[in-house]
Structure 1
Amino acid sequence: MSFLKKSVLVLTISTSLVVATTSLAQPASSEKHAIYATELRQSVFKLLGGNMGPLGAMAKGKIPLDAKVVEKNAIRINQLSLMIADYTRTDTSKFDVKTEALAKIWQEPEHFSKNIDKLTVASSTLIAAAKSNDEDAIKKAIGGVGKTCGGCHDDFKED
């Protein structure tokens, strides 16, 4: 089975999981529960940012492009993208928790799920580009991942 076919299979499975998981969102049962859920959610996004940072620096020429590092970070981003729905399942919007997440995450679950899917697809594309060792393709694919991150920030993250 080719890499592309495997990517499509993983995407199909992950999309089904995201839609199923998002529809199961439940309100936090207490402030303590909301704080804990927020901390877990923020951990996933910190890991995403930690893996995206070096990729952005490579795309901008601030550090040398290293296809192996790109591939490793793209795989991590892809895996984390598959976790986002799980860690946003608890609706914390009714509690005063320290977060930049907008309540739209839970008010517009289909839109949020589509954004997660875009990140899964973009990171899969980046994995393939990294394997190709084509610098232009890698930089373009890094830009694609960055665009999906920014789009989600625009829609679901406080400025």
Structure 2
Amino acid sequence: MRSVLAGALAVAVAAVSFTAQAAVSPEDQIKLRKAGYSYMSWNMGKIKAQVIDQSVAYDQQQILAAANTLNAIANSGMGALYGPGTDRQVGSQTTRVKPEMFDNFDDVAKLSGDLSRATGELVAAAEADDQGAIRTAFAAVGQSCKGCHDKYRMD
């Protein structure tokens, strides 16, 4: 039953993602995905400052909020923001995505799934208030991001 529900949810998310793509111009797709990744980066920085660098006092609620934000963005259907024509500059929006990403959506889907799993594990570690597990999960999220950046993001 659980796998049937998960499958139905995946179909619903995909349908909404494709509908959202059609309603958003290519320029806005680039703008929105850049905003999403910037917000993810900011939240990664909060976790890094508190748990890795320890340059800021540890606050479990802030870590949990940042982890939940990362997980929400990773599962938000941002793939809909990679529509036709978004592999190059559109209007005032530039992109660092490599054009070959658009020919490798199966690989991108796998990488997206890896990110989703990693952010879910980060949420679980933050909920448990286990700083060692948070460090491990944080590293996995970073590796997941790097895996996509190394293949599909221009410097």
**Above 0.5 in TM-score?**
yes
The answer to whether the aligner puts 1:80 opposite 2:47 as a matched pair is no
Aligned length: 146
Partners of 1:91 and 1:65 lie apart in 2 by 43
Identity among equivalent pairs (%): 24
Which residue pairs with 2:60 in the alignment? 67
- SS of 1:114's partner is helix
Q: Is the 8 A contact 1:38 1:92 kept in 2?
A: yes
* Structure 1 counterpart of 2:73, one-letter code: L
Q: Is the 8 A contact 2:36 2:73 kept in 1?
A: yes
Q: Is the 8 A contact 2:64 2:127 kept in 1?
A: yes
- SS of 2:55's partner is coil
Q: Cα RMSD over matched residues?
A: 3.3
Q: Shift of the alpha carbon at 1:118? A: 1.0
After the TM superposition, list the runs of 4 or more consecutive aligned residues in structure 1 that deviate by more than 6 angstroms: none
Partners of 1:41 and 1:105 lie apart in 2 by 15
* Structure 1 counterpart of 2:79, one-letter code: A
Which residue pairs with 1:129 in the alignment? 125
Which residue pairs with 1:154 in the alignment? 150
Q: Is the 8 A contact 1:48 1:77 kept in 2?
A: yes
Partners of 2:145 and 2:128 lie apart in 1 by 23
* Structure 2 counterpart of 1:109, one-letter code: F
The answer to whether the aligner puts 1:41 opposite 2:30 as a matched pair is no
- SS of 1:96's partner is coil
* Structure 1 counterpart of 2:148, one-letter code: C
Partners of 1:149 and 1:63 lie apart in 2 by 24
Q: Is the 8 A contact 2:63 2:126 kept in 1?
A: yes
Which residue pairs with 2:103 in the alignment? 107
Which residue pairs with 2:114 in the alignment? 118
Structure 1 residues 107 and 124: alpha-carbon distance in aligned structure 2, compared to 1, 3 A threshold: same
* Structure 1 counterpart of 2:74, one-letter code: S
Partners of 1:13 and 1:130 lie apart in 2 by 27
* Structure 2 counterpart of 1:51, one-letter code: N
Q: Give the TM-score of the pair, scaled to structure 1.
A: 0.75
* Structure 2 counterpart of 1:105, one-letter code: M
Which residue pairs with 2:89 in the alignment? 96
Higher relative contact order (CA 8 A, sep 6+): 1
